[in-house]
Structure 1
Amino acid sequence: MHKLVVLYPQPADPDAFIDYYVSTHLPLAAKLPRLQAWRYTTDVQPEPDGSAPAYFAVFEAEFASAADFRAAMASPEGRAVAADVPNYASGGATIIDYPVSEGSAS
C-alpha cells in the first residue's frame, strides 16, 4: 500500500476553509483514479500540554502502489486537485507520500 497524507496549518478563515474543503475540494479528490480509500479531519486536537495543534486539518488517501499514486496525480483529476489547493488553503499544505510497511499488535 502507498499512502498520501496532506497536513494543513491553521488557515486565515477556518470556517471558509471547511466550507470549501468539504463542498468542493473533497469531491474533486474522491474522483482520483486508482484511489482505494480516503479520510480526513478538520478536528485536530490540542497538544497533550493543551497548546494549539500544529495542524488544522489532515487528509489521508490510500493507493495500491506508488505507481498508482503517481498516475492518479498525473491524471486530469489529479492536476485539478493540485490546482485547487490555493483556493482554500491560505496557509499552504505539507504533502507526504510513502509506502506502508505492515506491523502487528503485541
Structure 2
Amino acid sequence: MTHRLLVLYPEPADRAEFERYYRDVHLPLCAQLPGVLSIDFSLAIPESPYFAVFEATFADADALRAALESPEGQTVAADVPRYATGGATVITFAAEPFPLE
C-alpha cells in the first residue's frame, strides 16, 4: 500500500511570488526527496478554500518516514516558511487502491 504526503496551502500574501518560488525553488527540492515515486500539484485552485495542493507518493510508510527525516526532507520542511505566508497543512496517509472494473 503506497503512502502519500499531502500539503494544503491557504491563500498566500502574494500569489505571483508564491508561484515563482514554488516552481523555481521548492518543487526542485521536493524532487530530491529520497524514495519519492511521483509528485503532483495544483496552484490557484478555483472555488476552493486552498490556493495550492501538493501530493507526493512513496512506496510505503517507511519510505515516507525516511524521506521526511532525511537531510533533503529537513531542507524541504525548512523551506516552506520562505514562500507559504499563509502556512501549510501537512497530512500523511496510506493510500488504499480501489479496483476499477
The TM-score with structure 1 as length reference comes to 0.91
Aligned partners of 1:16, 1:87: CA distance in 2, in Å? Answer: 10
Which aligned segments of 4 or more residues in structure 1 are displaced greater than 2 angstroms?
none
Which of 36, 49, 55 is residue 54 of structure 1 equivalent to?
49
Aligned-partner SS, 1:92 = coil
The equivalent residue for 2:18 is 17
The equivalent residue for 2:97 is 102
Identity %: 49
How big is each residue's C-alpha offset from its partner over 1:44-100, in whole Å with a ceiling of 9 and x where there is no partner? Answer: 121xxxxxx200000000000111001001111000000000000000000011001
Q: Which amino acid aligns with 1:16?
A: E
Structure with greater strand share of residues: 2
Aligned-partner SS, 1:54 = coil
Answering whether residue 85 of structure 2 is matched by residue 84 of structure 1, we say no
- The Cα RMSD (Å) is 0.9
The TM-score with structure 2 as length reference comes to 0.95
Gaps of 5+ in 1: 47-52
Deviation at 1:20, TM superposition (A): 0.4
The equivalent residue for 1:43 is 44
Residue-pair matches, total: 100
Aligned-partner SS, 1:44 = coil
The equivalent residue for 1:68 is 63
Q: Which has the larger radius of gyration?
A: 1
Gaps of 5+ in 2: none
Aligned-partner SS, 1:103 = coil
